[in-house]
């Protein structure tokens, strides 16, 4: 993070050149793009693409970046949602398939709705990374256990 007054990199929340103090950042507020260290933004985006969250979880030094860890935790939840939705889609296909053609159409409709919901969570997470926001995803974001 750089000083807003002179642009010098901050050390311990203060500017070594002009002695200005960094303003506190509220949670969920947009951050400076420079806050991501190294490949942090790329690793945060990968976290929302299935098992690729493992890249941000194990590759140093980004694995210790709190912003990458936040998005890895959200990405783990999205993967869990994809798996749960896959199981539900299988169950809907079987159950509604036993009801004949109408049941198959209803089952496919529910499958489509669930698929769009999971895809929406992934896209929302990637958009949050691109906009430099660390906000939990709707419905599942508060369940993150990896921080």
Give the C-alpha distances (Å, rounded to integers) separating 141 from 12, 68, 106, 123, 124: 30, 15, 29, 14, 11
More confident residue, 54 or 13: 54
- Cβ(128)–Cβ(121) under 8 Å? no
User: Rounded distance, CA 88 to CA 135, Å?
Assistant: 27
Residues 46 and 21 in one domain: no
User: Rounded distance, CA 143 to CA 146, Å?
Assistant: 9
Domain that residue 14 falls in: 1-30
Q: What is the pLDDT of residues 90-143, one digit of tens each?
A: 888 788 778 888 888 887 888 888 889 989 999 999 999 999 888 999 988 888
More confident residue, 16 or 28: 16
Confidence of residue 24 (pLDDT cuts 50, 70, 90): very low
Alpha-carbon dihedral sign for residues 68, 73, 77, 83? positive
Residue 115: per-residue pLDDT? 87
Residues 26 and 38 in one domain: no
User: Rounded distance, CA 22 to CA 24, Å?
Assistant: 6
Residues 40 and 76 in one domain: yes
The C-alpha angle 20, 23, 25, rounded to 5 degrees, equals 155
Mean pLDDT throughout 78-92? 88
Residue 30: per-residue pLDDT? 45
Whether the pLDDT of residue 23 is over 60: the answer is no
| CB atoms closer than 10 angstroms to residue 96 | 19
Whether the pLDDT of residue 11 is over 60: the answer is yes
For the chain, how many structural domains are there in total? 2
Residues 3 and 72 in one domain: no
Residues 63 and 127 in one domain: yes
User: Rounded distance, CA 72 to CA 52, Å?
Assistant: 9
Does the pTM surpass 0.75? The reply is no
Residues 111 and 41 in one domain: yes
More confident residue, 136 or 32: 136
User: Rounded distance, CA 51 to CA 119, Å?
Assistant: 15
């Amino acid at each position: 993070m750089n000083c807003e007054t002179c642009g010098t990199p901050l050390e311990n929340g203060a500017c070594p050149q002009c002695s200005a103090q960094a303003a506190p950042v509220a949670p969920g507020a947009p951050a400076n793009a420079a806050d991501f260290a190294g490949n942090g933004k790329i690793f945060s985006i990968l976290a929302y693409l299935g098992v690729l969250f493992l890249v941000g979880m194990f590759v140093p030094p980004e694995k210790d970046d709190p912003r990458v860890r936040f998005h890895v935790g959200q990405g783990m939840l999205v993967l869990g949602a994809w798996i749960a939705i896959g199981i539900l889609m299988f169950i809907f296909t079987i159950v509604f398939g036993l009801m004949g053609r109408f049941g198959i159409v209803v089952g496919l409709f529910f499958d489509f709705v669930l698929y769009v919901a999971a895809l929406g969570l992934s896209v929302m997470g990637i958009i949050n990374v691109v906009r430099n926001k660390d906000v939990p995803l709707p419905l599942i974001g508060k369940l993150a256990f990896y921080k």
